[in-house]
Amino acid sequence: MKLARTYLLLAILATLFNIAVQDLSTRVYAGPYDLALAAVAGTAAGLVFKYVLDKRYIFRFKADNLGHDSRVFVLYATAGLVTTAVFWGFEFGFNYVFDSREGRYLGAALGLAIGYLCKYQLDKRYVFRAAAA
């Protein structure tokens, strides 16, 4: 139960970080493809942020060296491709339906929540399990 609470807290922090980076991005650049660029920026920032938190506080993973850590990060990012599609689907779907920043961010938060539930299982079974072996 403690692990679930910790994971929930970290997922909330990563979601807030992702959305904050997106919001900053759209405030800095408001031109063609601004929402797509913001989604990519938020996703990239959130990915690195969540990886650092997950490997330390959820999986208690310690890499042998930078090369090992890099390989694990690539596995982590690869496992996130499907969950990113879910997240972006919700974010852009809500943006289309509600046509507002608040609607888009609500979609992003819901998509990330669903994605993180799936991502935990992928990370536990494939990413950090393979890294430990």
- Per residue in 76-118, pLDDT (tens digit) is 999 999 889 999 999 999 999 999 999 999 999 999 899 999 9
| DSSP string covering 49-118 | HHHHHIIIIIS----SSHHHHHHHHHHHHHHHHHHHHHHHHHHHHHHHHH-SHHHHHHHHHHHHHHHHHH
Distance separating alpha carbons of residues 103 and 90, to the nearest angstrom:
10
Query: Residue 133 pLDDT > 80, yes or no?
Result: no
Chain segment 10-30, per-residue pLDDT in tens:
999 999 999 999 999 999 999
Distance separating alpha carbons of residues 95 and 12, to the nearest angstrom:
21
Per-residue pLDDT at 131: 64
State how many domains the chain has: 1
Domain containing residue 7 = 2-132
